[in-house]
């Protein structure tokens, strides 16, 4: 049985467990039908040309976990931002972990999606926002919608500035072999509200889990995650994704962000590891004076592969978008950047900026980068640029004349190249955490405290 067949037949069992009267039952059923029709994409599909996703979609993936696993606090806390208070939604193998989470219903709703989907009092919100943004021809979005049940639900009411950041942490316990998970987040920022959200993915691998007696499993999990974000008028959102996972873990992330007038939304994607990681990040601008910021740092090694497909749909006049993605590729790692900017005829006077810079360190590393601009308005400013190269020799020489040895000088330049993207990160603890990961990935001592 192929994975697709396995998923389709598992859907029946999945819905047996679910409430068939729930408002999302219809969505799930329609989604699985459509998914069954179109299946998984292969590389003949232009959208997936450079990412051999089928490689990780094997029929051995486990759809339903067998049992619940607990993880030692010492292990979990390593994944926290630390140093500041935060709301936390922690999912272990796709299941909510109330022990280490910190949710709220005071002021804002910060909780799990499953509880919201089942409750009558949320039905209005769900019908207004849930599953309204997704690309209904995209396989993984359809698949996620079919199994959409658990994940984060964040609803910030009008004019509230959230007092602390929210952390959404996905942990793969490694206790079960090769799980395929379908986490689903729904985030709503009402008019004039403000929030900062950090979402991260981690796997523990067999030897790290405390579950005794479990045999060493072959573990190549795949997480197919989907996030819908609604940013209403004058609202302000900073979203950060940390993908720093084991080399066996693959992630497919579809994120859809809808912005209304005068809103500002940023999404930083930090891709530091995994087997195959695919990010489809979609911004829709529906209103004037919107600002969308998309930033990314990718640092890979060994045979890792990361693919960033971004879309900014300028559907309204007088808006801005800024994209800046940087990639550092070691060993045989590979990367893709495809930045699509779509400017509707009515979207006059917009300013869309896009930049993708890459450094290839490994002799066998490679990157495919492609700006894709479709502009139907005539009074706009759209700029794009991409570079693929090595470290700047004149900069290297400059550092060496100051007594910094070649290896350290290269490390410092690589750090500087990536670090430059962090300029707009307002959350200091996160900034420091990312800087430390970057320094660690580069693998040389930098000679200063981070």
Partner 1 sequence: MLKIENLHVSIEGKEILKGVTLEVKKGEIHAIMGPNGSGKSTLSSVIAGNEDYEVTKGNIFFNDENIEDLSAEERAHKGIFMSFQYPVEIPGITVTNFIKTAINSNLKARGEKDMPANEMLKKIREKASLLEIDSRFLSRSLNEGFSGGEKKRNEIFQMAMLEPTLAILDETDSGLDIDALRIVASGVNKLKNKDNATVVITHYQRLLDHIIPDYVHVLQDGKIVKSGDKNLALQLEERGYDWL
Candidates 6-14, 28-36, 164-172, 410-418; binding stretch for partner 1 (CB under 8 A): 410-418
Q: Does 443 bind partner 1 (CB under 8 A)?
A: no
Q: At closest approach, how far in Å is the CB of 32 from partner 1? A: 46
Nearer to partner 1 by C-beta: 63 or 404?
Answer: 404
Q: Does 442 bind partner 1 (CB under 8 A)?
A: no
Q: At closest approach, how far in Å is the CB of 355 from partner 1? A: 13
Q: At closest approach, how far in Å is the CB of 398 from partner 1? A: 4
Nearer to partner 1 by C-beta: 21 or 401?
Answer: 401
Q: At closest approach, how far in Å is the CB of 151 from partner 1? A: 34
- List the one residue from 413, 425, 434, 439 that touches partner 1 (CB under 8 A): 413
Q: Does 417 bind partner 1 (CB under 8 A)?
A: yes
The CA distance from 218 to 247, in Å, is 13
Looking at residues 233 to 272 of the shown chain, list those that interact with partner 1 (rule: CB under 8 A).
Answer: none
Residue in the block written with tokens 């990639």: 327
Candidates 228-236, 288-296, 362-370, 442-450; binding stretch for partner 1 (CB under 8 A): 442-450
Q: Does 424 bind partner 1 (CB under 8 A)?
A: no
Candidates 34-42, 136-144, 239-247, 416-424; binding stretch for partner 1 (CB under 8 A): 416-424
Q: What is the 3-state secondary structure (H, E, C) of the chain?
A: CCHHHHHHHHHHHHHHHCCCCCCCHHHHHHHHHHHHHHCCCCCCCHHHCCCCHHHHCCCCCECCCCCCCCCCHHHHHCCCCCCCCCEEEEEECCEECCCCCECECCCCEEEEHHHHHHCHHHHHHHHHHCCCCCCCCCHHHHHHHHCCCCCEEEEECCCCECCCCEEEEEEECCCCCCEEECCEEEEEECCCCEEEEEEEEEECCHHHCCCCCCCCCCCCCEEEEEEEEEECCCCEEEEEEEEECCCCCEEEEEEEEEEECCCEEEEEEEEEECCEEEEEEEEEEECCCCEEEEEEEEEECCCCEEEEEEEEEECCCCCEEEEEEEEEECCCCEEEEEEEEEECCCCCCCEEEEEEEEEECCCCCEEEEEEEEEECCCCCEEEEEEEEECCCHHHHHHHHHCCCCHHHHHHHHHHHHHHHHHHHCCCHHHHHHHHHHHHHHHCCCCCCCC
Q: Does 397 bind partner 1 (CB under 8 A)?
A: yes
- List the one residue from 405, 428, 440, 443 that touches partner 1 (CB under 8 A): 405
> Within its chain, how far is the Cα of 264 from the centroid?
18
Nearer to partner 1 by C-beta: 64 or 398?
Answer: 398
The CA distance from 327 to 359, in Å, is 6
- List the one residue from 70, 342, 386, 416 that touches partner 1 (CB under 8 A): 416
- List the one residue from 37, 215, 402, 426 that touches partner 1 (CB under 8 A): 402
Terminal Cα-to-Cα distance of the chain (whole angstroms): 51
| 191 Cβ contact list (under 8 Å, min separation 6) | 158, 159, 232, 233, 234, 235
Q: At closest approach, how far in Å is the CB of 297 from partner 1? A: 11
Candidates 36-44, 85-93, 204-212, 400-408; binding stretch for partner 1 (CB under 8 A): 400-408
The CA distance from 261 to 317, in Å, is 10
- List the one residue from 406, 436, 440, 443 that touches partner 1 (CB under 8 A): 406
Q: Does 426 bind partner 1 (CB under 8 A)?
A: no
- List the one residue from 95, 125, 377, 404 that touches partner 1 (CB under 8 A): 404
- List the one residue from 8, 235, 418, 442 that touches partner 1 (CB under 8 A): 418
Give the count of residues interacting with partner 1 (CB under 8 A).
27
Instruction: Provide the mask over 353-392, with x wherever binding to partner 1 is found by CB under 8 A and - wherever it is not.
Output: ---------------------------------------x
Query: Structure tokens of 360?
Result: 């290839």
Candidates 38-46, 147-155, 359-367, 395-403; binding stretch for partner 1 (CB under 8 A): 395-403
Candidates 15-23, 147-155, 366-374, 441-449; binding stretch for partner 1 (CB under 8 A): 441-449
Q: At closest approach, how far in Å is the CB of 409 from partner 1? A: 8
Q: Does 415 bind partner 1 (CB under 8 A)?
A: yes
State the residues that interact with partner 1 by CB under 8 A: 392, 394-395, 397-406, 408-409, 412-413, 415-420, 446-449
């Amino acid at each position: 049985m192929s994975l697709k067949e396995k998923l389709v037949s598992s859907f029946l069992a999945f819905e047996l467990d679910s409430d068939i009267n729930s408002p999302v039952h219809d969505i799930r059923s329609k989604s699985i039908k459509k998914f069954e029709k179109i299946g998984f994409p292969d590389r003949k599909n232009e959208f997936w040309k450079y990412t051999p996703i089928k490689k990780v979609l094997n029929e051995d993936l486990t759809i339903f976990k067998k049992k619940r696993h607990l993880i030692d606090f010492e292990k979990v806390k390593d994944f926290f931002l630390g140093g500041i208070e935060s709301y936390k939604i922690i999912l272990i193998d796709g299941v909510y972990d109330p022990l280490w989470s910190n949710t709220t219903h005071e002021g804002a709703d910060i909780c799990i999606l499953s509880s919201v989907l089942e409750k009558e009092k949320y039905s209005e919100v769900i019908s207004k926002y849930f599953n309204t943004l997704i690309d209904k021809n995209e396989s993984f979005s359809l698949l996620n919608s079919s199994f959409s049940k658990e994940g984060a639900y964040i609803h910030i009411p009008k004019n509230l500035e959230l007092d602390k950041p929210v952390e959404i942490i996905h942990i793969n316990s490694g206790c079960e072999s090769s799980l395929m998970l379908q986490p689903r987040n729904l985030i709503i920022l009402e008019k004039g509200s403000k929030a900062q959200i950090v979402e991260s993915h981690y796997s523990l691998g067999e030897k790290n889990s405390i579950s005794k007696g479990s045999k060493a499993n072959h573990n190549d999990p795949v997480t197919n995650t989907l996030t819908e974000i609604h940013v209403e008028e004058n609202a302000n959102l900073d979203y950060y994704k940390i993908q720093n996972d084991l080399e066996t873990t693959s992630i497919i992330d579809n994120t859809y962000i809808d912005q209304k007038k005068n809103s500002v939304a940023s999404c930083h994607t930090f891709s530091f590891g995994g087997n195959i990681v695919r990010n489809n990040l979609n911004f829709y601008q529906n209103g004037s004076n919107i600002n969308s910021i998309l930033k990314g740092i990718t640092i890979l090694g060994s045979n890792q592969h990361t693919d960033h497909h971004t879309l900014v749909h300028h559907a309204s006049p007088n808006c801005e978008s800024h994209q800046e993605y940087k990639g550092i590729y070691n060993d045989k790692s590979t990367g893709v950047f495809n930045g699509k900017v779509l400017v509707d005829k009515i979207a006059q006077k917009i300013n869309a900026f896009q930049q993708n810079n890459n450094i290839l360190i490994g002799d066998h590393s490679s990157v495919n980068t492609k700006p894709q601009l479709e502009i139907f308005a005539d009074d706009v400013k759209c700029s794009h640029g991409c570079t693929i190269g090595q470290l700047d020799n004149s900069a290297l020489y400059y550092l060496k004349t100051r007594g910094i040895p070649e290896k350290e000088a290269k490390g410092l330049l690589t750090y500087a190249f990536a670090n430059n993207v962090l300029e707009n990160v307002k959350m200091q603890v996160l900034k420091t955490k990312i800087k430390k990961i970057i320094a660690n990935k580069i693998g040389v001592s930098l000679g200063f405290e981070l």
